[in-house]
């Protein structure tokens, strides 16, 4: 990290952000991350002093949706500016350099900031065949291992990097795995979502700059502050679920009245994310508000979680054939049992010996 | 295996296996029971009692006089449990959705507050009847392993469903997976234990009513 680089506060001032605006951002970040208000000055002080951390962004088996989400989902905002304050030394989509020059930039950043840079990864890593996904002739696996070796921490952005995502969906032809399956000796934070919410990334970065550590993570490596509650529990349509009012189709009266989308396959009850609270596009809306159920995109293996438009309580696959066959089998087995019972009954009747009073008298 | 993977298994292969065993078992038992038959009653009916069997189905579903005094826990607990269980099972919207997914049939559900009350009532009634079974020496003597198993298999779906709905003790996804798995256990055991009464109860009541009608004790 170059010591003559301007601090974040200096850069923000140069870009016309007032002190008031900066403090507002610090307060918002503190509240977003469920930190007490007393932490706001600490965040402000840390961000003011912090110099631009070097960030290397590696993209593996992904669709660039995560980058699109971060860079295009809002007009330049204070979060966007903060994002610009990091020194993004390597990013396929955003960097101007290409070919050997790009790789040289990555190597230089790794050398100069060894042990201090943040490694952000989007996309999953194929283990099946190194040739499935390469960058400058280097396999994704080798590049991840090499770059992670000198990183302070690794942030797996998006469901592909966090859990394998779409490339890992059955039958997983490339043998795709998440970052956490490979990197075991560094702190790895998962920021799942397809794509994840931009403010989650900026909040996490602010936390890293302030405390020089990743925020508290849950058992799946996700920052608890953003992934602690289910969409269903924080959904503004939840009261309709409790009242038993549901949209049956996407254009019926219930849908127009904004009733619960559970029957249309909403996966909100089993999805942990901040969509219902932070929302998207600077708090404008989120999928459920737009009339479509949650598809559970921030959960591991969501592609294989069953049909998107079937309610959670419905069976995933058709069972009628199997149950019908089992019932027929039961009927056949029952008939066989009946025949056996009847045969036993007949045999018992045939074996029955009649005893008369005379016989009994004789027996005396 | 993550809780979500467990849930996906429970909603997929788990449910198919459980329903298949249940269907197989019910058909097997019904064929077996009906094929056993009864000895032809050659005597003349004492009383002409058309509909006695059908009336017995109703009359034996109502409390007999004096039961409240003799066995209040059985009386109240029995009714509260069966009603609470039935309301929870048939009128909670996700359950109706399951039936719709399996058969295409559906009907209006009840608000979750009503379901909540009926589930709690069912749970409390189950606990009360178990306490009574354990504390009453006669009931305890009459009880076998299967009775306690049937109790547990009925208690678990209600308890896990309650935990899942209220997000108590365990993560919702895991609670939902355990709830569905507990129902699958119930389905598997249903044809082969006393729980089979859910299928056979009205058949046996009709038979009792009819045969007693012929013998002169028409209901």
A132 contacts A61 by C-beta, under 8 angstroms: yes
Selected from 3.40.30.10, 3.40.50.300, 3.40.50.700, 3.90.1300.10, the CATH number assigned to the domain covering A8-226 reads 3.40.50.700
Containing structural domain, residue B113: 3-35+64-199
254-293 in A: which are within 8 Å (CB) of B?
262-263, 269-270
Any domain includes B157: yes
CA angle centred on B97, ends B92 and B99, rounded to 5°: 100
pLDDT, position B18 = 94
CA distance linking residue A172 with residue A156, whole number of Å: 19
Selected residue of A296, A315, A344 to mutate for chain B interface (largest B Cβ count, 10 A): A315
Q: Give me the mean pLDDT over the B29-43 stretch.
A: 83
B167 inside domain: yes
Please write the tens of the pLDDT for every residue from A190-224: 999 999 988 887 778 778 777 778 888 988 899 99
- pLDDT at position A236 over 80: yes
Of all residues in chain A, the percent with pLDDT exceeding 90 is 40
Is B52 part of a structural domain of the chain? no
- Residue A34's CB is within 10 A of a number of other CB atoms, namely 12
- Residue range A296-311, pLDDT digits in tens: 999 988 888 888 998 8
Lowest mean per-residue pLDDT among A145-149, A263-267, A329-333, B70-74: B70-74
Residue of chain A minimizing CA distance to B20: A323
Instruction: Give the SS3 label for residue A127.
Output: coil
pLDDT tens-digit series, residues A89-115: 888 777 778 888 888 888 888 998 899
Residue B211 lies in a domain: no
CA B20 to mean position of chain CA atoms: 18
- Among A225, A215, A208, A224, smallest CA distance to A47 is for A208
**Subunit contact A341:B112, Cβ cutoff 8 A:** no
What confidence tens digit (pLDDT) does each residue in B150-202 have? 999 999 999 999 998 888 888 888 999 999 999 999 999 999 999 999 999 89
pLDDT of residue B59: 85
pLDDT of A4:
58
Question: Would B77 be classed as within a structural domain?
Answer: yes
Q: Which of residues 97-116 of A touch B (CB under 8 A)?
A: none
Instruction: Nearest by CB to B8, from A242, A305, A330: name it.
Output: A305
Give percent of chain B above pLDDT 70: 99
At A5, is the pLDDT very low, low, confident or very high (cuts 50, 70, 90)?
low
Q: Is residue B44 part of a domain?
A: no
User: Is residue A56 helix, strand or coil?
Assistant: strand
Chain A: give the shortest CA distance to residue B119, in Å: 15
For residue A312, give the chain B residue with the closest CA: B94
Domains of chain A by residue range: 8-226, 231-304, 322-363
For A134-153, how does the pLDDT look when each residue is reduced to its tens digit (9 = 90+)? 998 899 999 999 999 999 99
> Is residue A79 very low, low, confident or very high in pLDDT (cuts 50, 70, 90)?
low
| Structural domain includes residue B135 | yes
Q: Which of B2, B6, B7, B11 to mutate to test the interface with A (most CBs of A within 10 A)?
A: B11
A242 touches chain B (CB under 8 A): yes
CB within 8 A of A307, min separation 6: which ones? A265, A316
Which residues of chain B have a CB within 8 Å of the CB of A270? Answer: 4, 7, 172-173, 176
**CATH assignment at residue B136:** 1.20.950.20
Res A83: pLDDT: 63
Contact A242 B112 (CB under 8 A): yes
Fold entry, domain A231-304? Cytochrome-c3 Hydrogenase; Chain A, domain 2 (4.10.480)
Mean pLDDT estimate for chain A:
86
Whether residue B175 lies inside any domain: the answer is: yes
pLDDT digits (tens, 9 = 90+) for B72-118: 888 899 999 999 999 999 999 889 988 888 888 989 989 889 999 99
Give the bridge partners for A134, in sequence order: A139
Q: Is B94's CB within 8 Å of A312's CB?
A: yes
Angle at B178 between CA B175 and CA B183, to 5 degrees: 125
Q: A159: left (phi > 0), else alpha (psi -120 to 50), else beta?
A: alpha
């Amino acid at each position: 990290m170059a010591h003559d680089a301007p601090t974040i506060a200096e850069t923000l001032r140069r870009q016309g952000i007032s002190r008031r605006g900066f403090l507002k951002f610090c307060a918002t970040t503190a509240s977003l991350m469920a930190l007490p208000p007393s932490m706001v000055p600490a965040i402000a002080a840390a961000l003011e002093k912090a110099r631009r951390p070097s960030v290397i962004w590696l993209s593996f088996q992904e669709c660039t949706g995560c980058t699109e989400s971060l860079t295009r989902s809002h007009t330049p905002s204070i979060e966007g500016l903060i994002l610009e304050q990091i020194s993004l030394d390597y990013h396929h989509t955003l960097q101007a350099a290409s070919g050997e020059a790009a790789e040289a930039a990555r190597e230089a950043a790794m050398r100069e900031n060894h042990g201090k840079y943040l490694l952000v990864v989007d996309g999953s890593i194929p283990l099946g065949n190194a040739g499935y996904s390469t960058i400058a002739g280097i396999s994704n696996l080798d590049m991840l291992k090499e770059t992670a070796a000198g990183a302070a921490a690794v942030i797996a952005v998006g469901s592909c990097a966090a859990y394998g995502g779409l490339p890992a969906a059955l039958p997983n032809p490339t043998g795709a795995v998440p970052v956490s399956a490979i990197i075991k000796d560094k702190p790895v934070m998962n920021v799942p979502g397809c794509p994840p919410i931009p403010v989650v990334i900026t909040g996490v970065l602010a936390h890293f700059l302030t405390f020089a550590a990743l925020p508290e993570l849950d058992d799946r490596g996700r920052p608890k502050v953003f992934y602690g509650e289910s969409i269903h529990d924080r959904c503004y349509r939840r009261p309709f679920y409790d009242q038993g009012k549901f949209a049956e189709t996407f254009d019926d009266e219930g849908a127009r009245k904004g009733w619960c989308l559970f029957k249309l396959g909403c996966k909100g009850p089993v999805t942990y994310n901040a969509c219902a609270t932070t929302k998207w596009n600077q708090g404008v809306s989120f999928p459920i508000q737009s009339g479509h159920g949650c598809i559970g995109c921030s959960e591991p293996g969501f592609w294989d979680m069953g049909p998107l438009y079937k309610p959670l309580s419905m069976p995933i696959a058709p069972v009628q054939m199997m149950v019908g066959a089992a019932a027929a089998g039961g009927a056949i087995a029952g008939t066989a049992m009946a025949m056996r019972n009847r045969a036993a009954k007949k045999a018992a009747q045939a074996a029955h010996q009649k005893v008369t009073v005379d016989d009994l008298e004789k027996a005396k | 295996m993550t809780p979500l993977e467990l849930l996906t298994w429970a909603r997929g292969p788990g449910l198919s296996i459980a329903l298949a065993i249940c269907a197989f078992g019910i058909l097997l038992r019904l064929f077996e029971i009906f094929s056993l038959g009864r000895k032809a009653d050659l005597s003349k009916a004492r009383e002409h009692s058309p509909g006695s069997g059908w009336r017995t189905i109703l009359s034996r579903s109502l409390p007999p006089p004096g039961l409240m005094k003799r066995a209040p826990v059985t009386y109240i607990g029995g009714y509260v449990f069966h009603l609470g269980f039935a309301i929870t099972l048939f009128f909670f919207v996700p359950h109706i959705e399951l039936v719709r997914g399996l058969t295409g049939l559906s009907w209006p559900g009840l608000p979750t507050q009503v379901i909540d009350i009926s589930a709690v009532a069912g749970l409390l009634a189950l606990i009360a009847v178990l306490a009574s079974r354990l504390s009453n020496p006669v009931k305890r003597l009459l009880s076998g392993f299967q009775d306690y198993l049937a109790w547990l298999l009925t208690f678990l779906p209600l308890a896990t469903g309650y935990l899942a709905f209220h997000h108590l003790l365990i993560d919702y996804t895991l609670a939902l997976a355990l709830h569905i798995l507990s129902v699958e256990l119930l389905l598997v055991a249903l044809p082969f234990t006393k729980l089979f009464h859910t299928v056979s109860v009205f058949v046996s009541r009709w038979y009792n009513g009819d045969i007693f009608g012929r013998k002169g004790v028409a209901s």
